[in-house]
Structure 1
Amino acid sequence: MNDRGMQNNLLQRMLNGVERTGNRLPHPVTLFALLAGLVAVVSALLSFTGISVEPPGGGEAVTVNNLLSGEGIRYIFGSLVDNFIGFAPLGVVLATMIGIGMAERTGLISVLLRSFILSIPKSLITFGLVFAGILSSLASDAGYVVLPPLGAMIFAALGRHPIAGLAAAFAGVSAGYSANLLLSAVDVVLGQLTIEAAATIDPAYAESMNLAMNYFFIIASTFFLALVGTLVSQFVVEPRLGRYQGGYEDESRDEEATTITAQDRRGMKWAGVAFLVTVALMALLVVPPGAPLRGEGGAIVQSPFMESLAVVLLIIFFVPGLVYGIVTGAVRNDSDVAHKLSDTMAGMGMFIMLAFTAGQFVAWFAESNLGIFMAVYGAEFLQAISLGGVPLLILFVVIVGFINLFIGSASAKWAILAPVFVPIMMQLGYSPELTQMAYRVADSSTNIITPLMPYFALIIAYAQQYDKNLRIGSLISIMLPFSLAFLLFWTLLLIVWMLLGLPLGPGASTYYGG
């Protein structure tokens, strides 16, 4: 056997081990319930020690909140329903699925996918999925809802494994979250925290910084990560999954995959008209000065429009889907509409149950303050070992990636870590812009391998439509090659960028001159 074959076998054995270990875990619904219980027990044990941490940047000391105390039990009972309803993905997913469900149940999505498949080279589909996933961060979390199921359907129509398509899209959406061709809300939130942290060392330098400080690098990263994701999908993930042996809810999709009828074309034409009219009306709410969905000062990045993207997607999918259904005869009256939407919601039952237990765990973990302790102790360790330059950058990326397995919010983690690491790196001669980009690399790359990421449960629900036996370990083993490849090659790209002294963004050097 040649070296390449031995390496492939070693990788497959490692991934098989990850899958076996992970699949020994209980069902995701049960697992999140057990994790919530574990958080309660650990919070009680640590609270008895009286330990506390000082938040970076000052403020009162933070202690562990005992969830098994009288006050903690009152919190658990009093917040149970709110934790479920307030679970971040729940409302966004269900609302968006109303629009997507109409477009899917009337057949619009299916015919558009067939047209898409027949119009582009098949060799570019994987790249296109990952690339589109990376760009979807402009739409906040909507990419999680839209692209993975679309990726699965595209691959299924091509005779490829649908979960490979889902995985490629998920990798782009989540692991490539900090890359894009345009600035997004992520740049605004993280950039402001970075500027504030830099001001503690050099207020004059902080005043010269801008929120587009990583713009050049994230543009390059968009194409770079799309290529890396494509190679991982085609040479690691798809060979591992093999040939798809399952069935589909609608067996006729295989026969329809290469056919576009005259009725389909007529429906698409009028759906396209409906889409353009809908977009034009939406634009009137956003584009003109003083439009109601603009933010303060005419801003669009931070605006009611960006905050209501779930509603925008609902409308943009629903209207063309309804028009397509009317033209093709799939929708004849309001009862047809109601039945199609109820069928869509019926398919979301598992996700709703996952949202209930996952919502409790996420809320209890935040209430206990255990995440803050993990982040602060990780930061203190990195500061204490006194590394410099590239080794410090690499270790910083590794620690942030590890912390990200437990704390999903990018802004919450950076609010804790920026006041510590931005000054440290500045004192070593490295710019705040570089530190922020290193954080973004680590934070994005490990999103796809932690069950604590809010949308992880949704991806499992999507995948189980094609493999009812797929569990947490299986999904982690599928996504792990993407995560490791993104973490490795994205970090190397950043190191090369730093060593060459290339600007990360407008006026943003990788080095700080003090």
Structure 2
Amino acid sequence: MDKQQKDKGLLLRGLSAVERVGNRLPHPVTIFALLTLLVILLSHLFALMGVTVQFEGINPETMKTETQTVSVESLLVPDGIRYMVTSIVENFTTFVALGPVLVAMIGVGVAERSGYLAMLLKRIVIKAPKRLVTPTVVLMGIMSNIAASVGYVVLVPLGAIIFLGFKRHPLAGMAAAFAGVSGGYSANLLIGTNDPILAGISTEAARILNANVVVDPTANWYFMIVSTFILVFIGTWVTDKIVEPRLGPYREPISADIERISQREKRAFRWANLSLLVVVLIIALSIIPSDGVLRGEGGSVVNSPFIQSIIVFMMVVFLIPGLVYGALTGVIKNDKDAAGMMSDSLASMAGFILLIFISAQFVAFFNHTHLGTLLSVKGAEFLQASGFVGIPLMVTFILLTAVINLFIAADSAKWAIMAPIFIPMFMQLGYSPELTQVAYRIGDSTTNIIAPLMPFFALIVAFAQKYDRKSGIGTVVSLMLPYSLLFLLFWIVLLIIWYFLGLPLGPGAPLFM
């Protein structure tokens, strides 16, 4: 056995060990219940100790920088107990992943159960070059970030279906899509909805030192474009060379014969696609004209009712052709059949809904007690005291952000706390706010795919269990760990190269002050 084969064997054994250890953990519902109990106990302990933290933070409502002093709040005092018992329902119903998933599944469920998605898959399989499947799935995942959470809800399960149609392991397709959607969250060829939010926070943080600084939404655009191609290459290599070989052949029977298509199916597919085209044209007419009804203030598309309601439009995009295809093939005979498909698709999410109920309590209690803020600020103070400069400073900052991201999933919330600390500090060392922001985004993206606290992580576990009932948190983490580590490594290398070449990060966005 040569050294390369030996190293590969060690890697695969290591990932298998991660999976075994992870899957020996209790059920995710039990884990989140225990974590919630731990938060309750730690909040009381730290409150008794009088633990507080002070930082310059940005008020999300006014976008103004304010000195904030935060104390850990106990959940075992009367006010804490009242908060817990009165917030449980709201914590569940307002959890960020719940609504989008259930709404989208109404349309996706009909498209899947009517056979439309299977037919679409057949056509892709017949016409698409097999060698381009993996990079296409990863790229589609990255590009989906312009539409908020659509990638998690639609593309991740679609990646599994596409791979299954090519007689490849569906978990490999799911992993490739998830790597693009979540691990590549800060890479894109276009400007997404998150860019203006982060830029606004960065601007306010920079104005602590210089009232004239403006960080534009396009501040990291050039870097994001190059990152997209790098991550597509890395994501493809990891999928084809590490993840899929480790999974081995998928031994479950494939339900559809991808080469046998009847004339009735072909006719139904044409009409379904025509209905899809009509839906897309109607949506396009509402956003393409400068005075389109779904454009935002000042004709904006990025901050518009269209983007805010993207999940609804995605539901319609799947629902209408699914209904048309089902009706013309005879699968849907009446409104009861259609309603049954919708309810069945929601019923299939029962396990996910239960997990969301428990995890929502943990996340809400963790935020309410300010334990997350304490962790973030103390980590920032440690980095500030480290004495690093230049590339070592930026790399350390990226790694710190990556670790914090395991505990605090909301990127804008973390940045609202961290930006007023790091941007002024780095500005005093001569580094631009745009550089600090892009370093933050690298760390924030790369550990999303291995962070159980990420709101959509429970959904990914549920998708994995569809193809392997034994799958658990350990399965998903072991699948995604190679993506996370290599994305982080190569993104850091790209930033180092960018740094030494002195390239602008975006239009009018230099590296240095």
SS in 2 for 1:88: coil
Q: Take 2:55 and 2:318, find their aligned partners in 1: how far apart are those partners? A: 44
Q: Which amino acid aligns with 1:431?
A: S
Given that 2:55 and 2:421 are in contact with CA atoms closer than 8 Å, whether structure 1 keeps it comes out as no
Q: Does 1:99 align with 2:107?
A: yes
CA distance in 2, matches of 1:265, 1:226: 33
Specify the SS of the correspondent of 1:54: strand
More divergent stretch after superposition (176-185 vs 289-298): 289-298
Q: Displacement, 1:59?
A: 2.7
Contact 1:214 1:437 in 2 (8 A): yes
- Shift of residue 169, structure 1, vs aligned partner: 0.4
Q: What residue in structure 2 maps to residue 274 of structure 1?
A: 275
Give the corresponding residue for 1:112.
120
Which residue number corresponds to residue 61 of structure 2? none
Establish whether residue 158 from structure 1 lines up as the match of residue 166 from structure 2.
yes
Counterparts of residues 61-140 of structure 1 (less than 5 Å): 61-140=69-148
| Structure-1 residue corresponding to 2:469 | 468
Matches within 5 A, 1:384-403: 384-403=385-404
3-state SS of 1:203 partner: coil
The secondary structure found in structure 1 opposite 2:55 is coil
> Letter of the aligned partner of 1:135 in structure 2?
M
Change (3 A) 1:310 1:84: same
- Does 2:241 match 1:240? no
Mapped partners of 2:408, 2:502: distance in 1? 32
Q: Do structure 1's residue 181 and structure 2's residue 182 form an aligned pair?
A: no
Map of 2:493 onto structure 1: 492
2:39 matched residue in structure 1: 39
Partner of 2:60: none
CA contact (8 A) 1:246 1:467 kept: no
What amino acid maps onto 1:13 in structure 2?
R
- Structure 1 residue runs of 4+, over 6 Å off? none
**1:252 is aligned to 2:263:** no
Q: Distance in 2 between matches of 1:418 and 1:322?
A: 48
The code of the aligned residue for 1:443 comes to D
RMSD of the TM alignment (CA)?
1.2
Aligned partner of 2:62 in structure 1 is: none
Q: Which residue of the partner structure matches residue 324 of structure 2?
A: 323
Partner AA of 2:469 in structure 1: K
Displacement after TM superposition at 1:252 (Å): 3.1
Pairing of 1:390-429 with structure 2 (within 5 A): 390-429=391-430
Q: Deviations over 1:322-355 (max 9, x none)?
A: 1111222221111110111122112111111111
SS in 2 for 1:60: strand
Contact 1:178/1:186 (<8 A) preserved: no
For structure 1, the 5+ residue unaligned runs are none
Q: Please, which of 193, 211, 217 is the counterpart of residue 217 of structure 2?
A: 211
The Cα shift of 1:21 comes to: 2.1
> Do 2:147 and 2:193's aligned partners in 1 also have CA atoms closer than 8 Å?
no
- Look up the match of 1:26: 26
> How far did residue 198 of structure 1 move?
1.6
Counterpart position of 2:63:
none
Report percent identity of matched pairs: 50
2:289 is matched with which residue?
288
Paired AA for residue 444 in structure 1: S
Q: Which amino acid aligns with 1:4?
A: Q
3-state SS of the aligned residue for 2:190? coil
Mapping 1:343-354, distance limit 5 Å: 343-354=344-355
Quote the Cα distance in structure 2 between the aligned partners of 1:370 and 1:316: 41
SS in 2 for 1:395: helix
Q: Distance in 1 between the 2:264 and 2:55 partners?
A: 63
Asked if the contact 2:135/2:235 (under 8 Å) is kept, the reply is: yes
Letter of the 2:37 partner, please give it: G
1:508 partnered with 2:512:
no
Per-residue CA distance 1:279-320 (angstroms, 9 max, x = gap): 122223323344332211121111211111111111111111
Q: Name the count of aligned residue pairs.
A: 505
In structure 2, what residue type is equivalent to 1:451? Answer: P
Partner residue of 1:380?
A: 381
Q: In 2, distance between residues paired with 1:214 and 1:480?
A: 26
Shift of 1:268: 1.7
Q: Contact conserved, 2:109 with 2:341, CA < 8 A, in 1?
A: yes
Distance 2:288 2:440 in 1: 33
What amino acid sits opposite 2:255 in the alignment?
S
CA contact (8 A) 1:445 1:486 kept: yes
Equivalent of 2:209 in 192, 201, 222 = 201
- The DSSP-based 3-state class of the residue aligned with 1:288 is coil
Distance 1:232 1:158 in 2: 18
Check conservation: 2:423, 2:433, Cα contact below 8 A. Answer: yes
TM-score, normalising length from structure 2?
0.96
- The answer to whether the Cα contact below 8 Å between 1:115 and 1:260 also exists between their aligned partners in 2 is no
Letter in 2 for 1:339: G
Aligned AA for 1:112?
L
Structure 1 residue 429, shift from structure 2 partner: 2.0
- Report the TM-score when normalising by structure 1: 0.96
Instruction: Return the alpha-carbon distance in structure 1 between the equivalents of residues 343 and 217 of structure 2.
Output: 43
CA distance in 1, matches of 2:358, 2:258: 38
Counterparts in 2 of 1:213-228, with a 5 A limit?
Answer: 213-228=219-234
Match of 1:433 in 2: 434
**What is the letter of the counterpart of residue 453 of structure 2?**
L
Aligned to 2:458: 457
**What's the CA shift for 1:93?**
0.4
Deviations 1:213-235 (A, max 9, x none): 11111011111101100001111
